[in-house]
């Protein structure tokens, strides 16, 4: 697996997503959802594909995103959420990611769906964007802030970019405590080190960053029960093909990064079951 002797850099994150494109394309998402995230199962969604789209609906409803809202999709992946927000909510969406190959994907799918007039995509880091202050009504970050080495940097930039009264909506992995018992900390490290994530932070740490960035309202809700089926399904699939993955990695057919992504999916579930983290939906108002 890739070993990070210090915090993963943007270059490490780019390499991770470039090398795991096959995994996401063939194993997880489809062209309807383009989702590089987990799905929410509830009364509206009972299948994998429906749950992935349902995550967009739940987050958009929570942030009250509607027609005309100017949204920054911070860590947009292949553009699935950006395109959904433009098509289903009439929002004007800018997606950003440091991964050039993802920008190419986003632009292709926007053209294919006739959404180039309501979306644009920029290669950039969400901790240091090229946009003017108070440019957006909503900052959207779906399972992306985890990759920031210092989450406070993301909150500062989000606070700068939001107009007064603007909303922050995030789906994020939240550490249950710091420190954790050594066995739980090891489970988290074994997962994160394989996904180019330096660390995940506690709810109190997130709240401190939000307060410092000028958010007057801030809440974190535990959505693990809605994401649990999706998380469990990834774990089961990863365990099922673990031996094959070991063989393919041994013979160089799958890279260390690809294999690490696979094995990290096993440790993610084990860390969840050990009580080391939970799946949070984060809401803030500037």
Amino acid 5: pLDDT = 47
Q: What is the pLDDT of residue 7?
A: 80
Which pLDDT score is estimated for 2? Answer: 54
Query: What are 175's strand-pairing partners?
Result: 202, 277
- Helix ranges (H only) for 63-90 are 80-89
19: nearest Cα among 263, 193, 237, 260: 260
Over residues 2-17, the pLDDT tens digits come to: 555 468 899 999 999 9
Distance between CA atoms of 106 and 103, rounded to whole angstroms? 5
Spatial neighbors of 10 by CB under 8 A, at least 6 apart, are 98, 125
Residue 187 confidence (pLDDT) above 70? yes
- Average pLDDT estimate for 109-114: 98
38 has pLDDT over 60:
yes
Calculate mean pLDDT across residues 56-67. 98
Closest CA to 84 of 122, 140, 26: 140
At residue 1, the pLDDT reads 47
Question: How high is the pLDDT of residue 6?
Answer: 61
Place of tokens 């180019």: 196
For 242-259, what is the mean pLDDT? Answer: 96
**pLDDT in the model for residue 4:** 52
pLDDT one-digit tens code per residue, 80-93: 999 999 999 999 99
Catalytic residue among 143, 157, 205, 217: 143
Architecture of domain 10-285: 3-Layer(aba) Sandwich (3.40)
CB atoms within 10 A of CB 172: 23
Helices and strands: H and E segment counts in the chain: 11, 7
- Mean local confidence (pLDDT), 232-249: 96
**pLDDT of 201 higher than 90:** yes
Per-residue pLDDT band for 277 (boundaries 50, 70, 90) equals: very high
- Is residue 143 part of the annotated active site? The answer reads yes
Domain ranges of the chain: 10-285
Is residue 60 predicted with pLDDT exceeding 90?
Answer: yes
Task: Report pLDDT for 136.
Answer: 98
Retrieve residue 103's tokens.
Answer: 């920008």
Q: Where are the alpha helices (DSSP H) in 173-241?
A: 182-192, 203-212, 224-240
Q: What is the pLDDT of residues 124-149, one digit of tens each?
A: 999 999 999 999 999 999 999 999 99
Mean pLDDT of 210-220: 97
CA distances from residue 253 to 59, 213, 226 in whole angstroms, order as listed: 38, 45, 35
Q: To the nearest whole number, what is the mean pLDDT of the chain? A: 96
């Amino acid at each position: 697996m890739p070993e990070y002797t210090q915090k993963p850099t943007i270059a490490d994150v780019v390499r991770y997503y470039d090398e795991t494109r096959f995994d996401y394309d063939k194993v997880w998402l489809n062209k309807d959802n383009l989702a590089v995230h987990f799905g929410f199962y509830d009364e509206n969604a009972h299948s994998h594909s429906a749950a992935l789209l349902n995550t967009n609906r739940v987050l958009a409803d929570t942030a009250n995103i509607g027609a005309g809202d100017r949204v920054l999709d911070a860590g947009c992946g292949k553009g699935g959420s950006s395109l959904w927000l433009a098509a289903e909510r009439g929002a004007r969406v800018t997606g950003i990611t440091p991964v050039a190959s993802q920008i190419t994907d986003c632009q292709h799918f926007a053209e294919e769906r006739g959404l180039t007039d309501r979306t644009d995509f920029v290669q950039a880091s969400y901790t240091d964007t090229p946009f003017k202050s108070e440019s957006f009504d909503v900052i959207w970050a779906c399972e992306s802030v985890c990759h920031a080495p210092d989450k406070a940097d993301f909150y500062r930039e989000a606070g700068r970019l939001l107009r007064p009264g603007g909303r922050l909506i995030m789906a994020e992995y939240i550490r249950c405590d710091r420190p954790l018992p050594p066995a739980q900390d090891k489970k988290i490290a074994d997962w994160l080190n394989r996904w180019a994530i330096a660390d995940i932070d506690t709810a109190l740490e997130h709240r401190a960053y939000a307060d410092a960035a000028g958010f007057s309202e801030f809440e974190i809700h535990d959505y693990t029960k809605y994401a649990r089926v999706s998380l469990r399904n990834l774990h089961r699939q990863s365990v099922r093909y673990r031996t094959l993955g070991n063989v393919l990695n041994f013979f160089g057919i799958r890279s260390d990064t690809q294999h690490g992504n696979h094995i990290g999916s096993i440790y993610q579930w084990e860390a969840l079951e050990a009580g080391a983290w939970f799946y949070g939906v984060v809401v803030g108002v500037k």
